Structure 1
Amino acid sequence: MMPFFSYSQSLAYKTLLDGLYDKNFPVVKAEQISDLSNYQVLDAREREEFEVSHLSGAKWVGYETFDLKNVENLDRNEPVLIYCTVGARSQEIGKKLQEAGFTRVYNLYGGIIQWSNSEKPLESQGKPTRKVHTYSKTWGIWLTKGEKVN
């Protein structure tokens, strides 16, 4: 039987994420995404984290400064992929989106750290990068493929 987590993710990291996530909030894993353009991609990190790197086409919505006015032009019936560093902040913003009537909101499992560990592309100012703002040195230990910035 194949493990639930990918080879690029340790059991300790999976256990940590399992403790952070609400089991009733839908997640999508990096390896399940072949085309980001199928989603309205939202970044729920702070602006300085977003500027280090983000997923292609991501719209910055923030966490501390999040306001529903920043997403009023999005289609509430199209899929939304929301992410942060590991998925805790994005889950909270995702719940606010659901409460506001968004019908298909998905949290990126493992956040930008797992995205980078899965060797998926990141960008900064329209150019490819391997830099990842890991929020803190504590979260940074989970980044195995990418250049840590915190």
Structure 2
Amino acid sequence: MKRLACSVLSLLTAACGSSAQSGDNPAYTQLLRTLYKGTVPTVRPAVLAQELQKQPGTIVVLDTRTPAEYKVSHLQGARFVDFDHYDKASFSELPRDQKIVVYCSVGYRSERVGEQLKALGFTQVRNLYGGIFQWVNEGLPVYNAQGVTSNVHPYSALWSPWLRRGTKVYE
């Protein structure tokens, strides 16, 4: 844990001095390499956006953040799955070959949920690379109860430097 904390701090220092606004920020890429175990395949935001546009209704998108994060904004049509109160039984209605994409702020929590879904026998589970932060950093839209919004919950002050676009809203 201490090694992870040191890695995050050094990467945050690099992020604070970086001018990258979207796309592949080298420090963010390194952070994701540190956080991800590689147990769930990833899908890039632009690829997912195209798939959702070309095949509406064929992919279940699961937001695995907290209720406060989801309320501020989420991907259009995302189904809320509270990471802190994850309930396996809530997926009994889904066929095991259903295409599912999980996401959170950066992809760490969603990878854990993806692992659980795979353990339940789901065969087409992917993790959104870079989470909602990467999605917004690439200029893709997020929504709240009123419609399209620029607001994004940055999870915490420690993680907020990775969110380069959007309005940071803690709620």
TM normalised by structure 2 equals 0.80
Correspondence list, 1:1-150, <5 A: 8-33=23-48, 34-36=50-52, 37=56, 38-125=58-145, 127-150=147-170
The CA RMSD over aligned residues, in Å, is 1.5
Mark the runs of 5 or more structure 1 residues left unpaired by the alignment.
1-5
In structure 2, give the amino acid aligned to 1:114: Q
Task: Report if aligned partners of 1:53, 1:131 keep a CA contact under 8 Å in 2.
Answer: yes
Q: Which moved more, 1:90-99 or 1:124-133?
A: 124-133
Task: Report if aligned partners of 1:61, 1:70 keep a CA contact under 8 Å in 2.
Answer: no
Task: Give, in whole Å, the separation in 1 of the partners of 2:67 and 2:143.
Answer: 14
Task: Report if aligned partners of 1:119, 1:145 keep a CA contact under 8 Å in 2.
Answer: yes
Q: Which moved more, 1:137-146 or 1:7-16?
A: 7-16
**Aligned-pair CA distance for 1:126:** 5.0
Task: Provide the secondary structure at the position in 2 that maps to 1:19.
Answer: helix
**Aligned-pair CA distance for 1:68:** 1.0
In structure 2, give the amino acid aligned to 1:108: L
Give runs of ≥4 in structure 1 deviating > 4 Å: none
**Aligned-pair CA distance for 1:88:** 0.4
Task: Give, in whole Å, the separation in 2 of the partners of 1:67 and 1:147.
Answer: 31
In structure 1, give the amino acid aligned to 2:163: L
Task: Give, in whole Å, the separation in 2 of the partners of 1:69 and 1:29.
Answer: 28
TM normalised by structure 1 equals 0.91
Which structure: larger Rg? Answer: 2
**Aligned-pair CA distance for 1:75:** 2.5
In structure 1, give the amino acid aligned to 2:27: A
Identity of aligned residues (%): 39
Larger helix proportion, structure 1 or 2? 2
